[in-house]
């Protein structure tokens, strides 16, 4: 029987450099983000390695920040960490359903 970790896939919002820079101009929690894209990428990769070392699989989910911003407007939400996580979860649900 598979362990729980082997069945669970954790999703991680992933940005290319231009998307990350756009995100930084829009978020209310800018101070909680890394100073530069390179720092963010190093932190993100470190977090992913840590998660994977605990036996979980990680799925990087590419985020289009303009689509994220539109989703937040439609849902009357700030582009906060919580909203970004919810948006990524919905992206994954839709892609897993094939829609």
Rounded Cα–Cα distance for residues 72 and 56 (Å):
29
- Sign of the C-alpha dihedral computed for residues 92, 93, 96 and 99 taken in this order: negative
Instruction: Give the residue ranges of the chain where pLDDT is below 70.
Output: 1-6, 98-99
pLDDT at 1: 44
pLDDT one-digit tens code per residue, 20-46: 999 999 998 888 899 999 999 999 999
Q: What is the pTM of this model?
A: 0.83
Residue ranges of the domains in the chain? 4-97
Contacts for 51 with CB less than 8 Å, ≥ 6 apart = 10, 12, 58
């Amino acid at each position: 029987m598979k362990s729980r970790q082997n069945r669970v896939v954790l999703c991680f919002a992933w940005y290319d450099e231009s998307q990350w820079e756009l995100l930084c101009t829009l978020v209310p929690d800018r101070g909680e983000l890394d100073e530069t894209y390179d720092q963010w990428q190093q932190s993100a990769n470190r977090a992913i390695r840590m998660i994977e070392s605990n036996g979980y699989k990680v799925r990087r989910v590419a985020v289009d920040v303009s689509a994220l911003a539109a989703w937040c407007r439609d849902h009357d939400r700030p582009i906060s960490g919580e909203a970004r996580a919810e948006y990524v979860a919905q992206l994954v649900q839709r892609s897993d359903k094939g829609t």
